[in-house]
Structure 1
Amino acid sequence: MDCHQTFKCSECSVRNSSLFAGLSPEELEQLNACRSIQHFKRRERVFTQGETALGVHCVHRGKLRLFQSSESGKEQTIRLIAEGGVVGTESLLTEKTYTVCAETLEDAEVCFLEKKTFFDLLGNSPHLARKLLQSLATEIQAQEETISTFSQKSVRERVAQTLLALNDRFGSQAENGSCLRIPLKREEIATLSGTVLESAVRCLSEFRDDGFIDLVGREIYVVAPDKLRAIAEGKTVNALRR
């Protein structure tokens, strides 16, 4: 990881999709003067579970994976962060250590804002405070919905729903369907689906054999999202091929 400045916050291409959208020119200048830009290689740690939270991180380029690691080394993927996403706010507000690890899924550029500067901005900007509350509330609602929904679904339905969610956020149109432009390991898809590796791999193979997805190396192409949606809803679906 290395740090240097390459652009101004007022010129940031992802600012309008971040927590810092809507800041005044003066606030943007304060933000620009105090933040550092960190460059990470693929699968490099941004911060580690148990470390003291020193500030917040905003993803300018690339994607992050947040996960918890047990004493035995088993990892549970919690959520994925795209460009414009801000992480670390929960630990700052609760004045606790990071409860998750954050690592890059690809080469990434992440802006870091120290704790004091973030709280100064928060105290002087009602708009930023509202945005933060909205962001935290949205995340809580999403987690509650996932827990409620997953508890009522089979493994097959959960894997289908995970693929649909990934397609909505990271899908990019390709010749043979929508390619999930996010380099996830099969184990990570499994934990996002609340299941074990073997079950997730079996479901992916079945979806491929039925013609709903294509698997090309580590890449996943969603060919029939309507079929996956029907599966996620617990409906009986006929295969497109066998």
Structure 2
Amino acid sequence: MSINGLFPIEKWDFSSDSILSGLSMEDLEPLMTHRLEQVYKKGEVIFREGGFPQGIFYIMEGMVKKYKVNDSGREQLFYVANTGELIGYHAVLSEDRYPDSAAALENSRIAFIPKEDFLETLQRSPVLNSRLLKTLSREFAVLINGLSLIAQRSVKERLALQLIVLREKYKVDFKPGMPVSINMSREDLANLVGTATENAIRILTEFKEDGILETKGRKIIILDINRLIKIANYR
């Protein structure tokens, strides 16, 4: 079922799939002419925090996690990007090192776009410029919401909310009444929620016993989105 009107998904998902969609050939062609496409296997790192950017990345197919690594070596996963999104452009715009890392959550086809092509197109395309500015504004709002979520919500509420967001991301050829499968390791899910893996597993088991979801291997299949919205306790 759709969650439109039931849950403000736009507050938690800064999808940038509209940045390149519908661009004129005049803008799109120079941006994509020198692109290099590569298939990243699940778990393969796309770029690392602290590295110098040579360009940006366009997810043509697949799913990518964005994360930071803390002093103890634990990943702090803060966003999942999917097909159509751009990643890695913050460092190019700021002319600085990558502030975070990115790795494929599943086998993903990703295009590398040289920074010279990206910056040149951005400079002469008011449409791309406007879309990117809008996306950056949305990203800031979503990240602020994420920080407040960690500080103010219980682990159970945070897990329910992240499952709602992930369900939207994993919709493929969705039709009303169709179950949605989230294909993510329990460790990655726990890192996204900000809790220990065993805590995430325990709460998932509770949700499963309550008929809210079912699991098949690492796949999480959402059965009752209304119950998740209620547990998320978002107001």
Residue in 1 that maps onto 2:159: 159
Higher RCO (CA 8 Å, separation ≥ 6 residues): 2
* More moved, 117-126 vs 188-197: 188-197
Residue in 2 that maps onto 1:9: none
Residue in 1 that maps onto 2:180: 179
Tell me the amino acid that sits aligned with residue 186 of structure 1. Answer: R
Tell me the amino acid that sits aligned with residue 202 of structure 1. Answer: R
Deviations 1:178-223 (A, max 9, x none): 2324x31111111211222121111101111111111111111111
Q: TM-score normalised to the size of structure 1?
A: 0.83
Residue in 1 that maps onto 2:199: 199
Deviations 1:127-174 (A, max 9, x none): 111111011111111111222234222111111111111112214569
Judged with a 3 Å threshold, the aligned counterparts in structure 2 of structure 1 residues 31 and 77 are, in CA distance, closer, same or farther, namely: same
SS in 2 for 1:112: strand
What is the distance in 2 between the residues matched to 1:110 and 1:199?
A: 33
Residue in 1 that maps onto 2:32: 32
SS in 2 for 1:151: helix
Judged with a 3 Å threshold, the aligned counterparts in structure 2 of structure 1 residues 148 and 27 are, in CA distance, closer, same or farther, namely: same
Contact 1:67 1:75 in 2 (8 A): yes
Tell me the amino acid that sits aligned with residue 203 of structure 1. Answer: I
Judged with a 3 Å threshold, the aligned counterparts in structure 2 of structure 1 residues 171 and 17 are, in CA distance, closer, same or farther, namely: closer
What is the distance in 1 between the residues matched to 2:154 and 2:142?
A: 19
Judged with a 3 Å threshold, the aligned counterparts in structure 2 of structure 1 residues 58 and 234 are, in CA distance, closer, same or farther, namely: closer
Q: Superposition pairs for residues 89-100 of structure 1, below 5 Å?
A: 89-100=89-100
Query: Residue 234 of structure 1: CA displacement?
Result: 7.4
Q: TM-score normalised to the size of structure 2?
A: 0.85
Q: Superposition pairs for residues 77-88 of structure 1, below 5 Å?
A: 77-88=77-88
SS in 1 for 2:207: helix
What is the distance in 2 between the residues matched to 1:153 and 1:62?
A: 30
Residue in 2 that maps onto 1:50: 50
* More moved, 114-123 vs 27-36: 27-36
What is the distance in 1 between the residues matched to 2:23 and 2:227?
A: 42
Residue in 2 that maps onto 1:220: 220
* More moved, 224-233 vs 34-43: 34-43
What is the distance in 2 between the residues matched to 1:50 and 1:109?
A: 23
Residue in 2 that maps onto 1:104: 104
Deviations 1:103-134 (A, max 9, x none): 11122111111111111001101111111101
Tell me the amino acid that sits aligned with residue 180 of structure 1. Answer: S
How many residues align? The count is: 218
Which runs of 5 or more residues in structure 2 are unaligned?
Answer: 1-15
Contact 2:185 2:218 in 1 (8 A): yes
Residue in 2 that maps onto 1:143: 143
SS in 2 for 1:166: helix
Query: Residue 28 of structure 1: CA displacement?
Result: 2.1
What is the distance in 1 between the residues matched to 2:17 and 2:160?
A: 27
